[in-house]
Amino acid sequence: MTRYAKIIGTGSALPAKALSNGDMVALLATKGIETSDEWIVERTGIRNRHFIEDGQYASDLAFAACESALGAAACKIADIDLIIVATSTPDMVFPSTATILQRKLSEAAVARGEPSGAGSAAFDVQAVCSGFIYGLTVADAMIKVGSARRALVVGAEVFSRILDFNDRTTCVLFGDGAGAVVLEACEHEGQGPGILSTDIHADGKYTPILCVPGWVAGGQVTGDPTLKMDGQAVFKLAVGVLEDAAKTALARAGMSTQDIDWLIPHQANIRIMQGTARKLKLPLSKVVVTVDQHGNTSAASIPLALDHAVKQGQVQPGQTLLLEGVGGGFTWGAVVVRM
């Protein structure tokens, strides 16, 4: 018998504030910057995104997504012994957003008369848009070696806080949100549910093409704390590395693209998603697309899209999914999972 980490529940959360492309056009017009709904849709496929309100943080979105995922899994926070939060926009420098999330989930449980979830391992993963793939990989490894029985893996981002609204090439792309999954250890001899394989990579020489070159020093922000991106360079690199990671993960699972029911890619840009599907010879009908509704929510985009597909009835038990992401660092990776 082989030990697997299977997904037993999914959840997601979006801020109440939704902005259409028309809203973004109006916002940028106040800064003397011209753009249009047609320009945004043609280049990105994005039509809407959500921005968080003042006084809300990544942990608030993560909390809502986790409560939903725990409910879907029929679990309580006291059943969880590992929390991993993938985020590039943490609540504070430290402690980790994962520990803040753990406190909020535990307090909510106690208020309902349930046991506290305090004591579980909790930490953040910073791999930008690949963060959820990295988080799944780490949780899968810990479950396989017996260090955890059940895990919450969360992607939560508030990118609206790090956007330069004088740069139309980046500020129209991103949104805020969170997605979560509950993983549980199970054992079987093949053909059952669980994470079948993973493949993650990084190459730091590409740091300049996608970064936020600011930091805290002496009690002040030094450098530029807003997102910078070379869109053309990112596009060219992304399609190639995603193809390689996908093929490697499939090979490790003893599968080919013909075995995949759904491709759930990082929702960065419809052109990157279409390009990756073509490289893998997958029809677009097998690609889960939510970038039009949410924009690029970085580490939250894959679990958001997964939860959407589950709730819409697209993803069914027994189906095989290929999840893949690419982000600043440069980081990238893929996960093959059977539901």
Catalytic site includes residue 171: no
pTM above 0.85, yes or no: yes
* Catalytic position from the list 48, 50, 66, 129: 129
DSSP letter assigned to residue 280: T
Number of domains within the chain: 2
DSSP code at position 284 = G
Domain match, 213 and 317 both: yes
Q: What is the CATH number of the domain that holds 310?
A: 3.40.47.10
Nearest to residue 237, comparing CAs of 126, 127, 167, 332? 332
Which residues sit opposite 24 in a β-bridge?
none
- Within this chain, do residues 267 and 243 fall inside the same structural domain, yes or no? yes
My answer on whether 154 and 201 are in the same domain is no
Question: Using N-to-C axis directions, what is the helix angle for 231-252 and 270-279, rounded to 10°?
Answer: 40
The domain boundary residue, chosen from 188, 223, 249 = 188
DSSP-derived 3-state class of residue 204: helix
The pLDDT of residue 190 is 83
Q: What are phi and psi of 96, to 5 degrees?
A: -65, 150
For the chain, first and last CA: distance in Å?
A: 18
Q: What is the pLDDT along the chain (339 residues), one digit of tens a residue?
A: 999 999 999 999 999 999 999 999 999 999 999 999 999 999 999 999 999 999 999 999 999 999 999 999 999 999 999 999 999 999 999 999 999 999 999 999 999 999 999 999 999 999 999 999 999 999 999 999 999 999 999 999 999 999 999 999 999 999 999 999 999 999 999 889 999 999 999 999 999 999 999 999 999 999 999 999 999 999 999 999 999 999 999 999 999 999 999 999 999 999 999 999 999 999 999 999 999 999 999 999 999 999 999 999 999 999 999 999 999 999 999 999 999
Annotate 31-60 with DSSP letters as a single string.
TT----HHHHHHHH---EEEEPPTT--HHH
| Cβ-based neighbours of 70, under 8 Å, separated by 6 or more | 9, 11, 76, 77, 80, 105, 152, 182
Write down the catalytic residue from 48, 50, 171, 266: 266
DSSP per-residue string spanning 65-116 = HHHHHHHHHT--GGG--EEEEE-SS-SSSSS-HHHHHHHHHHHHHHHTTPPP
Are 203 and 240 contacting, i.e. CB atoms less than 8 angstroms apart? no
Rg (CA), the chain: 19
- Choice among 171, 269, 296, 308 that is catalytic: 296
What is the 8-class DSSP label of residue 214?
E
Backbone dihedral region for residue 65 (phi beyond 0: left; psi -120 to 50: alpha; all else: beta): alpha
Domain extent, residue 46, equals: 2-188
Annotated catalytic, 50?
A: no
Domain's final residue, options 151, 169, 188: 188
DSSP, res 316 = -
Q: Which amino acid is at 234?
A: V
- Tokens found for residue 28: 């940028």
Please tell me whether residues 176 and 215 are part of one structural domain. no
Q: Is 211 a catalytic residue?
A: no
* Residue that is last in its domain, among 157, 188, 219: 188
Query: 313 — alpha (psi -120 to 50), left (phi > 0) or beta?
Result: left
Model pLDDT, residue 163: 98
